């Protein structure tokens, strides 16, 4: 195989992820590799650069470097937000005959699954695999050469944040990119949960980063608060959204921490770095001989309530003690 080089950050952490069987996994390298003198080339296709996806990729790389040292090398590619580029990248990785592909975000997973039915593919930062791969009645195991980890936090509990922090917000806008299937899924679930609470919910979608600010402006003008799910386009455009929302004094509840840091007041979020490490542990098992076809998708077990102290203070929002400040 062609050789590639990469820089790694050292780190050690542990996290519990619940698989579909209800089990859990420790993300410290096992130390029981059967690699012998083998070396491995791992391809990475990441949809776009932003805090959450970058952290997942770093956690994945850190874990495998700790497990295999210089026996693992990476072909690390970023699609700059373009799903078509994901297709090109994944086809290139297949032609290079990499040993495993990490697909970071839904378009990357879709591209990798289409590019190969033999090279193991692990997704990360995927909200719902059944939606991403168009699987009816998804039971938790894809059953092909694809598995991975999900970044889905309990959506009903994300909806509960409005009651806890914004009890007087009756008109709520949900903002997301219409091109992201997992955002549609999250928006539908949260919309139903908020309507069950008696809220009036309006959905606002943008097609790409070019119309984010305009759509966000309309949403802020028509609502007391906004919700943004784990959406890659929104995360990449968080500064533009924040500029609009801060001027309008409209609070935003977000689906994940990186997005919340960019434009929100609070979130129920997972650690994307730990999610990446858990995906790395799955990769270690596959490289050591486990069949990816039998591996269920794994889910982060302990999401955390977090808040942006500066924005909450500016808006006069009182935050309960069970929320952790972001960045501290």
**How far apart are alpha carbons 205 and 210 in whole angstroms?**
12
Concatenating the DSSP letter of every residue in 25-64 gives ---S--S----TT--EEEEEEES---HHHHHHHHHHHHHH
Q: Which helix (H) or strand (E) holds 177?
A: strand 171-177
What pLDDT is stored for residue 300 in this prediction?
86
Q: Taking the chain (328 residues) in consecutive chunks of 10 residues, what is each chunk's mean pLDDT?
A: 32 38 48 62 96 96 97 97 97 98 97 98 96 95 98 94 97 96 94 98 94 97 97 94 97 96 96 96 98 96 94 96 89
153-274-155 Cα angle (round to 5): 5
Predicted structure pTM score? 0.81
**Residue corresponding to tokens 């699609």:** 79
What pLDDT is stored for residue 38 in this prediction?
86
What pLDDT is stored for residue 3 in this prediction?
34
């Amino acid at each position: 195989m062609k050789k590639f080089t990469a820089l790694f950050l050292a780190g050690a952490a542990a996290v519990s992820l619940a698989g579909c069987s209800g089990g859990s996994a420790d993300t410290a390298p096992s130390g029981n590799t059967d690699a012998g003198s083998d070396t491995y080339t791992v391809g990475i296709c990441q949809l776009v650069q932003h805090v959450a996806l970058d952290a997942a990729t770093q956690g994945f790389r850190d874990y495998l470097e700790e497990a295999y040292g210089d026996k693992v090398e990476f072909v690390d590619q970023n699609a700059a937000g373009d799903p078509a580029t994901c297709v090109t990248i994944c086809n290139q990785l297949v032609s290079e005959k990499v040993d495993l592909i990490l697909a970071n975000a839904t378009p990357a997973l879709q591209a990798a699954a289409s590019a190969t039915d033999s090279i193991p593919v692990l997704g990360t930062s995927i909200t719902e695999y059944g939606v991403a791969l168009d699987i009816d009645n998804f039971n938790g195991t894809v059953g092909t050469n694809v598995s991975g980890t999900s970044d889905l936090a309990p959506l009903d509990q994300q909806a509960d944040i409005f009651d806890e922090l914004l009890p007087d917000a009756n008109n709520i806008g949900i903002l997301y990119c219409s091109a992201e299937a997992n955002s549609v899924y999250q928006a539908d679930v949260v919309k139903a949960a908020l309507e069950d609470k008696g809220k009036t919910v309006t959905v606002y979608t943008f097609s790409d980063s070019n119309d984010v600010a305009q759509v966000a402006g309309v949403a802020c003008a028509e609502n007391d608060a906004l919700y943004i799910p784990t959406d890659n386009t929104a995360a990449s455009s968080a500064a533009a959204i924040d500029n609009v929302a801060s001027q309008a004094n409209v609070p935003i509840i977000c689906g994940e921490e990186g997005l919340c840091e960019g434009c929100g007041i609070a979130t129920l979020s997972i650690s994307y770095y730990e999610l990446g490490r858990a995906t790395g542990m799955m990769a270690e098992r596959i490289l050591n001989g486990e069949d990816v076809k039998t591996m269920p998708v794994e889910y982060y077990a302990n999401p955390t309530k977090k808040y942006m102290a500066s924005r909450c203070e500016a808006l006069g929002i009182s935050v309960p003690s069970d929320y952790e400040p972001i960045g501290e």
